[in-house]
Structure 1
Amino acid sequence: MPPVSHQTIKLSRGRHSSPEHGACVMELASMLAGEGFSDHPRSVSRPIASFLRGYNDLLDDVRRADLYRFAAQAVGTAGSPAVEEARAARLLGWADQHWERRSSRSMLDRLRMRRVHKERSIDPEPAGTYAVHAIGKVTDETHAAALALVDELIAIGPHSRERPTLRVADPAVPAAP
């Protein structure tokens, strides 16, 4: 069996001990960044990583495949405290809108909103979790909205768009003499 690489790995739910056992979108980002295998890559914005970790686990395999591009796009997004706070605030605003929409349709969702609203926080980890919980049932509409949200989060604030040098030999490029 060929070794698992960033090019052959399959995205799956949960945290994994090594690429041989699969990877979530943030574990793939750590591989692309040349960091140790982790679902908390240092080069990725904490609010973005928090949202993507939770959203990755919410999705079925077909929709999860849409997250591959974010593994690469998220590398280098770790920003200043002000940028990270702006991203967390955007997560909260987006989640509040989704909770309002859900709670207007269902008494059960109104009760859920009250419970999770107590956990609402500008801190990156809880902000991402709050936003994932606001999604509820994943539909084509909510999935498109979540993908658009990640695009927005990546676009917020100045951040390095440099990509790490991958430590993978390209067979199409001849070796240096």
Structure 2
Amino acid sequence: MDFTYNYYNLFSCHYIKFFSDVALKESNLLVAFCILGFIVLIGIIFDIIGTAVISGREEPFHAMAAKKVFGAKEAIKLLRNANIVANFCNDVVGDISGIVSGAALMAIIVKLAFEGPKGSIYTAILGGLLSAITIGGKAIGKNIGIAKSQSIVYTVAVIFAWIEKNTGIKILPDYKNNKRKKRK
């Protein structure tokens, strides 16, 4: 990994944590729980995308690309860069959402101002619930990612194609297929 990749991860983690801290301090409990749920949902969605890219196949998208279907080339790029995409989605975003959701839960607990022995019990219960929702959501998400990999990859590819078309920003590099290397 190069310096810019690690710097980006560090910067994005602090940026997301700062945003959630500011949003949680200025909100009521219902909004705070909604923000916490949104942070957990982002982690689950990116985990689904990472799993779908790992388990997806290129062949259907080659046929679509031959017919010039919008997003097919980006789907091939996603699948050829599966290691990068899965690392970013599952590890980077997943870890950041886990850390930030834990910090957000602590901000909610401080807002509830639990004190004494009951505070420890409530903290343990809320922490356990957050863990169960996150782990259960990611487990269900992995099953969805595997079962619906082609449609998930295509949906993400269409979003990337739209971004590239409207902004000119290329999100993924063009890699040649490693399977086509010549034998010695």
TM bucket normalised to smaller: under 0.3
Compare the two structures and name the one with the higher helix fraction: 2
- Structure of higher RCO (CA pairs closer than 8 Å, 6+ residues apart): 2
Bigger Rg, which one: 2
